[in-house]
Amino acid sequence: MAYSQAAHPPSTALPDVPASEKVILSAADIQRVVDRIAHQILEKTSGATGTVLLGIPTRGVPLARRLAARIHAFEGIDVPVGALDITLYRDDLRLQATRAIGKTELPGGGIDGRRVILVDDVLYSGRTVRAALDALNDVGRPSSVQLAVLVDRGHRQLPIRADYVGKNIPTALAEKVRVRLAECDGGTDEVKLLGRTA
Amino acid sequence: MTSYLIRGARILGGEPADLLIRDGRIAEPGGAADETIDGTGLVALPGLVDLHTHLREPGREDAETVETGSRAAALGGYTAVCAMANTSPVADTAGVVEQVWRLGREAGLVDVQPIGAVTVGLAGERLAELGAMATSAATVRIFSDDGQCVADPRLMRRALEYVKAFDGVIAQHAEEPRLTEGAQMHEGEVSTRLGLTGWPAVAEEAIIARDVLLAEHVGSRLHVCHVSTAGSVEVLRHAKARGVRVTAEVTPHHLLLTDELAASYDPVYKVNPPLRTAADVQALREALVEGVIDIVATDHAPHAVEDKECEWAYARPGMLGLETALPIVLSVLGERWELIADRMSRTPARIAGLDGHGGSLAVGDPANVTLVDPAARRQVDAAELASRSRNTPYAGMTLPGRIVATFLRGEATVLDGKAVK
Amino acid sequence: MIRHLLSAADLDAETATLILDTAAEMAALAGREVKKLPTLRGRTVVNLFYEDSTRTRISFEAAAKRLSADVINFSAKGSSVSKGESLKDTALTLQAMGADAVVIRHPASGAPHRLSSWVDGSVVNAGDGTHEHPTQALLDAYTMRARLGRLDGLNVAIVGDVLHSRVARSNVLLLSTLGANVTLVGPPTLIPVDIAAALSKTTRVSYDLDSVLPDADVVMMLRVQTERMQDSYFPSAREYARRYGLDVPRMRKLPEHAIVMHPGPMNRGMEIAPEVADSPRSTIVEQVANGVSARMAVLYLLLGGKA
């Protein structure tokens, strides 16, 4: 009895044929990208006042924590960090085996009247973010919502865009973007593009 | 009357020989016959006799009739069946037993010998008119409240005594009712797991113990229906050693199936007495071989679909048996034909007093004959059964032995595995 | 994922733990202002109750509604095979209605098993005869874990009419799967035969409540119906209470941290003294709240994915 772990966005299983692998972001690249987004947040939010970072499990959560840590390092400001699980709000539950649900943890002061920045690893169809907006609606009323992603791979199915993008990667639908972060996956950070060689 | 020559069949499993059936009897081989049957590889047995059949008529003709049950019996290799008394109305008067007897004659597929109820309405309160049934056209010799136990010890004693006048026998459904109130299955590990009220082995054993002592005390014949536990076997062994005139039967299902099957909660496995443990099954098999248990009887109990396609607790107990009995006994005992003939034909015929049945296929005997192909294997298909009901627990099982032909006093009731009428 | 929840034995340790973890998340969500989740929108859950059990039915109903499922209450009380519609015909009706899940409470052991062979949707056993009540065991395990932090190695005493208790059967199975040590306590007449072989080899039986209490982390008191007296399972309510009731002096024999549970409804003064039922050790009210979370978790895990 295995449950698929939440993977965002829904990805098709890789075919059993020789696949190509390309590293898109190395560990050092990821570090630079996180630094840049942290700077952009500070810039766009006038010093991150009244801001909350909510990571979307699984990999959005450590990314949100890294961003908060970098913001603290740059400006000495403590930005509250939380997690917002969106499993129970997904519109594709019926398409896959039952998913285990992740943790939702809102920071102490809640989110009402604050600027919430949703953090996720990959922006793809936009459905995860749509679900996150629904989930957010049920837990409070932020003054505004922004979106930060490590990678934007295109192929949007909904009118959603990110406010902060680490890297835009043009992809084919058959390709898959795989993000590995030390906190959840062990080893070193890395973003890879996996695809068919055919 | 058509005469039949069966060529090269193994009579009671012996060397291949010819068997001539003429004018209703076994005849001296030689000369021509109207029909010749190739008996190569087949075994000829005396027609089987079932001491325990529920034909449901009168009252539940939607589940079985004397005719459909007779056809099922013939297809199972039987030439005589004893029809239990728990019909509606109960076979507790000469009128009802004669009706059943007549219906059997009209169907003409097996000899239907009615069993009379011991007590009026099976209520266990006062004796039915046993003598009237004995002297009726049906000449009843076996009396049974089967389905119910004659629980009152005084009433049981009187019944045992009373039937001595006409060499009757009381066939007891051994079940102490106070120990089995609400009981659904064998009391043990499985009933505990399934949360079904247990039917303890002691409820059977205590009644058998009491009854063999009563039979000894009054010097009467006792027959014990559907023995199901290892403990009952021990009680019977003890009684027989003391010289008590007791006989006992075991059903094919108690020789094969165990209480684990209840785990499906499919009431097709619900039966009374219930399926027991593997250890009980083993003890029953040994007792049958040894002769502590005298015979195999089917307790063929047809039930309508709605009485089985429901919750376990609401289902009626009982399973079909006539068409699968011999294959099951074959799979349990192996090809021990003398033993099979004794346990399924000779001894039941003797207990029931059915002259002409249970012979040894000697020249001059009434030609009650069953031809079996032991090499054939058949998958049980409930839809193909001749019984009007479908409650067989063996559906999907592949069993050895196919009944090729059955002859009742020289008339073929089954030929080529198919009922003649 | 398993398709039905008919018995606590359907759950291996991994699945059971997943349900408890999911229940914990559901419980956290229950604290919010907006309790409803859109997860099972468009799914139909039928509550098919052949026995009166308002508390269980409401618990399942709340669970299904919080997940936005459509709930149909089908109270079949009073119907029987002889008079009313058969279970099979009812099953075919539910099938035609497109029930994604049927939650069934039935006085006959095994009725949910039968139902599961007649419908395509998931079947959840909400208590069948004297067989099982797996979601009760899940909420009990959840309550123990929430109070005591673990299940593995816990000593749990289940006290009372084990013979007729579906709660006890499911608890023995689930708790054993999750590593707890279960001791069944009661008069010998109310302990079913071969219980260890039937359910779990690690199960112990004791006829002496006082000897079990000092080592117990959890004492679960079962409801004892007074009509058992008529069947001579025990001589009198007074004698039962004296030998197997949990009163204040007995409660004092428990370790400091131990909790007292009861699946309800209680017979105060019979199996449990009022002072014990209302003491801080008692989890009886929590059990009710946890029931909704546990049932949400079960419904989500059965219905939240591809059918």
Q: What is the predicted pLDDT for the residue at C128? A: 97
- The helix/strand/coil state of C184 is strand
Q: Could you give the number of structural domains in chain A? A: 1
A/B Cβ contact: 3+ pairs below 8 Å: no
For the beta carbon of residue C189, count every other beta carbon within 10 angstroms: 12
- pLDDT at position A9 over 80: no
* DSSP codes, C218-229: EEEEPP--THHH
Residue type, A26: S
CATH code for the domain defined by B48-358: 3.20.20.140
Residues of A in contact with C304 (CB under 8 A): 88, 93, 98-99
Residues of B in contact with C81 (CB under 8 A): 306, 310-311, 314
Cβ-defined contact of C130 to B313 (cutoff 8 Å): no
Segment holding C27, helix H or strand E? helix C13-30
pLDDT tens-digit map of A94-146: 888 888 888 899 998 899 999 999 999 999 999 999 999 999 999 999 999 99
Interval B128-152 mean pLDDT: 98
Domain contains C2? no
| Strand-strand pairing, B198-199 and A19-25 | unpaired
Kindly state the percentage of chain A with pLDDT values over 70: 89
Q: What is the predicted pLDDT for the residue at C77? A: 63
Cβ-defined contact of A98 to C301 (cutoff 8 Å): yes
In angstroms, the CA C297 to CA C23 distance is 5
Q: What is the dihedral of CA A164, A170, A172, A176, to 10 degrees?
A: -50
Q: What is the predicted pLDDT for the residue at B32? A: 84
Interval C241-261 mean pLDDT: 96
- pLDDT at position B41 over 90: yes
Distance, C-alpha B100 to centroid of its chain? 17
Residue C70's pLDDT band (cuts 50, 70, 90): very high
pLDDT tens-digit map of B392-401: 999 999 999 9
Cβ-defined contact of A93 to C28 (cutoff 8 Å): no
Which residue of the set B211, B280, B299, B342 is catalytic?
A: B299
Q: Could you give the number of structural domains in chain C? A: 2
Nearest to A101 among C22, C36, C306 (CB): C22
In angstroms, the CA B146 to CA B200 distance is 18
> Which residue in the block uniquely carries the two structure tokens 């007590």?
B119
Tell me, yes or no, whether C27 and C118 share the same domain.
yes
CA distance C32 to chain A (A): 7
pLDDT tens-digit map of A78-92: 999 999 999 999 988
Nearest to B193 among C81, C111, C198 (CB): C198
Domain contains C1? no
CB-based contact, C1 to chain A, within 8 Å = yes
Interval C275-299 mean pLDDT: 95
Find which of A5, A86, A92, A93 to mutate to test the C interface (most C CBs within 10 Å of its CB): A93
Kindly state the percentage of chain C with pLDDT values over 70: 97
- pLDDT at position A44 over 50: yes
Domain contains C21? yes
Residue C5's pLDDT band (cuts 50, 70, 90): very high
pLDDT tens-digit map of B223-237: 999 999 999 999 999
Which is more confident, B30 or B298?
B298
Domain contains C185? yes
* C88 in a known ligand binding site: no
Domain contains A70? yes
Domain contains A198? no
Find which of B179, B193, B261, B314 to mutate to test the C interface (most C CBs within 10 Å of its CB): B193
Q: C231 lies in which domain range?
A: 134-284
Tell me, yes or no, whether C102 and C243 share the same domain.
no
Residues of B in contact with C107 (CB under 8 A): 313
For A7, residues 6+ apart whose C-beta sits below 8 A from its C-beta are none
Q: What is the predicted pLDDT for the residue at C35? A: 87
Tell me, yes or no, whether C129 and C142 share the same domain.
no
Residues of C in contact with A88 (CB under 8 A): 29, 37-39, 67, 300, 304
User: Mean pLDDT, chain C, as a whole number?
Assistant: 93
Q: Could you tell me if C212 and C157 are in contact, meaning their C-beta atoms sit under 8 angstroms apart?
A: yes
> Which residue in the block uniquely carries the two structure tokens 């005869």?
C129
Domain contains A17? no
CATH code (residue C154): 3.40.50.1370
- pLDDT at position C6 over 50: yes
Interval B403-418 mean pLDDT: 97
Selection from B227, B237, B175 nearest residue B200 by Cα: B175
Neighbours of chain C (3+ CB pairs under 8 A): A, B
CA distance B201 to chain C (A): 13
Cβ-defined contact of C301 to A93 (cutoff 8 Å): no
Whether B299 sits among the annotated catalytic residues: the reply is yes
Interval C249-258 mean pLDDT: 97
- pLDDT at position C75 over 90: no
pLDDT tens-digit map of C143-184: 999 999 999 999 999 999 999 999 999 999 999 999 999 999
Tell me, yes or no, whether C140 and C275 share the same domain.
yes
Q: A156 lies in which domain range?
A: 28-171
In angstroms, the CA B392 to CA B324 distance is 9
Tell me, yes or no, whether C64 and C195 share the same domain.
no
Buried b (16+ CB within 10 A) or exposed e, C47-84: bbbbbebeebbebbbbbbbbbebbbbebebeeeebeee
CB-based contact, C300 to chain A, within 8 Å = yes
- pLDDT at position C244 over 50: yes
Interval C66-86 mean pLDDT: 75
- pLDDT at position A11 over 70: no
Q: Which residues pair with A191 in a beta bridge?
A: A25, A179
Q: What is the predicted pLDDT for the residue at C305? A: 85
Interval B272-290 mean pLDDT: 98
Q: What is the predicted pLDDT for the residue at C307? A: 65
* C305 in a known ligand binding site: no
Domain contains A22? no
Tell me, yes or no, whether C247 and C175 share the same domain.
yes
- pLDDT at position A5 over 60: no
- What are the boundaries of each domain within chain B? 48-358
CB-based contact, C67 to chain A, within 8 Å = yes
pLDDT tens-digit map of B54-79: 999 999 999 999 999 999 999 999 99
CATH code (residue A42): 3.40.50.2020
Tell me, yes or no, whether C52 and C193 share the same domain.
no
- The helix/strand/coil state of B200 is coil
Residue positions counted in chain C:
307
Tell me, yes or no, whether C155 and C275 share the same domain.
yes
What ranges in B163-305 are assigned the alpha helix state H? 189-194, 201-218, 230-241, 252-256, 278-290
